[in-house]
Amino acid sequence: MTKEKIRNIVLQELKDNNGKLFLRPAWVSRNFMPPGKRLGLTDTEYDVGERGSICERWLVSETKVDNRVKVENEGLSYLDIDGEDILLTDAVDVCREEILGAEYSKTHNSLGRLLKIYDFGCRIFYHLHQMDDDAAKVGMNSKEEAYHFLDKPLGPHPETFFGVHPYIVRENKQNEIFMNYLKNWEGESILKHSRAYMNVPGEGFHLPSGLLHAPGTALTLELQESSDVMAVFQAEIEGLDIGKDLLHHHIPDKTWNSKKEAAAIDLVDWEANADPYFYENHRLCPQIVEETRQDGSWEEWIWYNTVKFSGLRITIEPGKKFFSTANGVHGLFIWRGTGTIDGYKTEGQKVSLSESSDELLITAEKASDGYWVENTGTENLIIFKFFGPDININNVPYIEKYK
């Protein structure tokens, strides 16, 4: 399909939907972790053969998965238009100004963020995401991220390991302690050198790149930079072997061949990992936005402490409405309840492999004009509203730093 034809279709869709684009669900498989099976699919639908199991759903996504088993366009969102298969990335490419806004599109050529739900049956391995310079060496973006724990069953290990014990860096023992684990590549006792914190539904954590972490089993909404870069430091999880290629597959071959495990040690932001106030400096609690509070409805910041991305949770009581405005283009994900968004019927947690009514993109112009959201059900309507870089700059809150 030509760019001109894609542009004409997308422009007509924006006109017909009054500045909104609806998306099909983008399911992501992993073959190195068991699924938690809390994403709303049937039991049999999680199994995707040699690709492993569906463990994640990526929302309003411009990011392609970097899995061992390659599937064309896995992770990328498609517009939900009958009879058409148009990627969101292509839509933004040909209608950049109409979607991103005239001013924002002068300095940004994409949405620049990814929201995902990850859903694993065991704790995720201890790993990090490369910082800017190291990610660029393999042609990728860095991956700063933030979590929000959802109100589903928490799974067997609802605690996340972050960083390292402060004495390790204070006494310069990084190589002494960690090199043996990376060379021998066995077991999971590397986690004893880290600290774990409970996954509390409704709360979360902010995690810049370069920080070691092993996420727990809570069903988690993760907002992040648009990237799938990582380096895995843990060889085994509950008897499940993790291939050592995941330690170095995002390290340049020349660097790995010359430095081996030391190249992975170099990726770590050791000072940040050894912060004795790690919990206080990274924990995210909902921050209500008093300026937008309305009768029976309100917004709360849940992803903040950065301008690389940001996001809010909207709560609307039964029978109430909320008039939503924003500084720029943003995604919406309806988590719980039934209602309408600018007249469009939506329902949370009602999804299949190919269909949903809970995921859409709001253009910059529509965000500025505003739109009504109404709860037509009998329980609170819960919606997540998420933004890319440099949209919320002066209004996003920051964690008061402990030192």
Is there a domain that residue 398 lies in?
Answer: no
Element containing residue 386 per DSSP (H, E): strand 381-387
Quick: pLDDT tens for 185-239.
Answer: 999 999 999 999 999 999 999 999 999 999 999 999 999 999 989 999 999 998 9
Is there a domain that residue 392 lies in?
Answer: no
DSSP of 343-366: TEEEETT-B-SS-BSSEEEE-HHH
**Is 312 in the same domain as 204?**
no
**Is 162 in the same domain as 75?**
yes
Assess whether pLDDT exceeds 90 at residue 334.
yes
Q: How far apart are the first and last CA of the chain?
A: 56
Domain residue limits at 73 = 3-284
Q: Are 96 and 103 in contact (CB under 8 A)?
A: no
CA-closest candidate to residue 330, choices 150, 149, 113: 113
What's the rounded Cα separation, in Å, for the pair 17 and 66? 33
Is there a domain that residue 399 lies in?
Answer: no
**Is 229 in the same domain as 350?**
no
Mean pLDDT, all residues of the chain: 96
Give how far the C-alpha of residue 69 lies from the chain's centroid of Cα atoms, to the nearest Å: 21
Average pLDDT over residues 167-186: 97
Number of domains in the chain: 2
Is there a domain that residue 40 lies in?
Answer: yes
**Is 223 in the same domain as 261?**
yes
**pTM for the structure as a whole:** 0.96
User: 59 falls in which pLDDT band (50, 70, 90)?
Assistant: very high
**Is 280 in the same domain as 324?**
no
371-375 and 297-303 beta bridge pairing: unpaired
Is there a domain that residue 250 lies in?
Answer: yes
Token duo for residue 141: 């973006």
**Is 300 in the same domain as 182?**
no
Quick: pLDDT tens for 283-296.
Answer: 999 999 999 999 99
107 three-state secondary structure: helix
Q: What burial class does residue 57 get, using C-beta atoms within 10 Å of its C-beta: 0-12 exposed, 13-18 middle, 19+ buried? A: buried
User: 353 falls in which pLDDT band (50, 70, 90)?
Assistant: very high
**Is 94 in the same domain as 230?**
yes
Quick: pLDDT tens for 85-121.
Answer: 999 999 999 999 999 999 999 999 999 999 999 999 9
Is there a domain that residue 396 lies in?
Answer: no
Which amino acid does the sequence have at 333?
F
Q: Are 384 and 333 in contact (CB under 8 A)?
A: yes
**Is 179 in the same domain as 212?**
yes
What's the rounded Cα separation, in Å, for the pair 26 and 42? 16
Is there a domain that residue 175 lies in?
Answer: yes
DSSP-H helix ranges across 249-392: 253-259, 261-265, 270-273, 278-282, 364-369
Is there a domain that residue 395 lies in?
Answer: no
What b/e sequence results for 188-226 when a residue is b if at least 16 CB atoms lie within 10 Å of its CB, and e otherwise? bebbebbbebebeeebbbbbbbbbbbbbbbbbbbbbbbb
**Is 267 in the same domain as 292?**
no
> Which one-letter DSSP state was computed for residue 320?
-
CATH number of the domain that residue 273 is part of? 2.60.120.10
What's the rounded Cα separation, in Å, for the pair 129 and 308? 15
What's the rounded Cα separation, in Å, for the pair 88 and 110? 10
Per the listing, tokens 């959802």 go with 150
**Is 219 in the same domain as 353?**
no
**Is 190 in the same domain as 79?**
yes
**Is 75 in the same domain as 184?**
yes
Assess whether pLDDT exceeds 80 at residue 371.
yes
